[in-house]
Amino acid sequence: MVLPSSQSCSVRRQKKKALEQTGLPSSQNVWLQQQMSRLDPANKSLFFKGLSQENTKTRGDVIKDLIKSACDEEPQIQNMEHIWSGPVGKRVITPNVVVEFSSRAVREDVLQKLNRENSLMTSGGKITCNRAKTATQLKRNASLMKACDLLKKDQRCKNKSVNVVWQKQDGTKDRAVEVDGIPIFNQSIFDLTGKFVDAQFQNLSF
């Protein structure tokens, strides 16, 4: 049966309201997160730490020399982003740089060669690198840290240990924030943020 126009609009409004209240079904939410993560340039990037030079060109040359010395054929760098921090007008350069390559495979090859025992980076010991984190990974990590900070400031957690468990030992790959060893905040592998699972702390939010 085809609904009259007014009824059809009413049904659509009800569905929209329900969606706003409950969000996308978990399967759709997970799918969207996966698609966003696949497109993130971080999947092709390395995160360098420990650069002491303040001049961006000098820092770039240092990184290029490290990569060139480790690789038989120098890979093409798609982009190099120097990370800054601080308020507008007082921003300072940090020791961190994100370097993007043409593909994930190239990124993995460069990482493997940079981490060889005889590489200049490993022997120097000051500069380190690893895979860059995607926006989704950063968001998930930040949510755990925010939950941890909230619990540390909460009077109910006074004189108690509050710790982030980056991977629970139950085979689920879930992560949590525990208070005296009791899980208070849980983040499943499908969560972008997570939730307070203990009833007495469900009034907390961020």
Q: What is the pLDDT, as a whole number, of residue 116?
A: 86
**Residues spanned by CATH 3.30.70.330 within the chain?**
41-131
pLDDT of residue 190: 84
> Using an 8 Å Cβ cutoff, are 160 and 177 in contact?
no
The region that residue 193 occupies, defined by phi over 0 for left and psi between -120 and 50 for alpha, beta otherwise, is alpha
Instruction: Please tell me the predicted confidence (pLDDT) of residue 47.
Output: 96
Strand pairing of 45-49 and 128-131? antiparallel
Residue 85: what pLDDT? 93
Residue 35, pLDDT score: 60
Q: What is the chain's pLDDT, residue by residue, as a tens digit (206 residues)?
A: 444 444 444 545 554 454 444 444 455 555 566 566 667 889 999 999 999 999 999 999 999 999 999 998 889 999 999 999 998 889 999 999 999 999 999 999 999 999 887 777 777 668 999 999 998 899 999 999 999 999 999 999 999 999 999 988 888 889 999 999 999 999 998 888 999 999 999 899 88
pTM reported for the whole predicted model? 0.68
pLDDT of residue 121: 78
Place of tokens 């092709």: 44
Q: Report the distance separating Cα 96 and Cα 47, nearest Å.
A: 7
pLDDT at 4: 44
pLDDT at 21: 44
pLDDT at residue number 16: 46
Contacts of 62 (CB under 8 A, 6+ apart): 51, 53, 127
Q: What whole-number distance in Å separates Cα of residue 52 and Cα of residue 58? A: 10
Which architecture characterizes domain 41-131 according to CATH?
A: 2-Layer Sandwich (3.30)
Give the burial class of 44: count Cβ atoms within 10 A of its Cβ; 0-12 exposed, 13-18 middle, 19 or more buried: buried
